[in-house]
């Protein structure tokens, strides 16, 4: 399921970038490169200011694009961040399993809980 979710988020991001590029090309009359650049810069919230919509439709479209695009962008970042954390936790568990018994762990060594040299949790 995780793969399908990641793939759908990538597809949504691609659709938003493509849709924004086409929209700004048609409404503002910018080149394909400028339209793509403005779309990515706006979606990433960088906002260089080198391109600014001049038409009313472009301004309204930009506003809608920002809300829609940022929602999908945030969802994608959250999903990929969650995946990275999960993989890190799995690796940590694997390392702990490879190390075996660790003296000083109160769950594995009951005497460790009473050890005055043990750092507080």
Q: What are the structural domains, with CATH classification, of the chain?
A: 2-114 (1.10.287.70)
Q: Is 107 left (phi over 0), alpha (psi -120 to 50) or beta?
A: alpha
Between 21 and 117, where is the model more confident? 21
Residue 121 has pLDDT above 70, yes or no: no
Band (pLDDT 50/70/90 cuts) for residue 48 is confident
Predicted pLDDT at 28: 96
* Spatial distance between the Cα atoms of 16 and 10, rounded to a whole number of angstroms: 10
> Which of 11, 74, 65 has the alpha carbon at shortest distance from 42?
65
Per-residue pLDDT at 16: 92
pTM of the full predicted structure? Answer: 0.63
Predicted confidence (pLDDT) at residue 119 exceeds the cutoff of 70: no
For 72-87, write each residue's pLDDT tens digit.
888 888 888 888 899 9
């Amino acid at each position: 399921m995780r793969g399908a979710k990641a793939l759908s988020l990538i597809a949504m991001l691609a659709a938003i970038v493509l849709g924004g590029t086409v929209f700004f090309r048609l409404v503002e009359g910018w080149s394909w490169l400028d339209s793509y650049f403005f779309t990515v810069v706006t979606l990433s919230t960088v906002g260089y200011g080198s391109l600014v919509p001049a038409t009313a439709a472009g301004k309204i479209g930009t506003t809608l694009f920002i809300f829609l695009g940022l929602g999908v962008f945030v969802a994608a970042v959250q999903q990929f961040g969650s995946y990275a954390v999960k993989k890190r936790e799995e690796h940590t568990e694997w390392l702990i399993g490879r190390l075996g018994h660790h003296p000083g762990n109160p769950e594995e060594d009951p005497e460790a809980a009473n050890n005055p040299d043990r750092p507080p949790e």
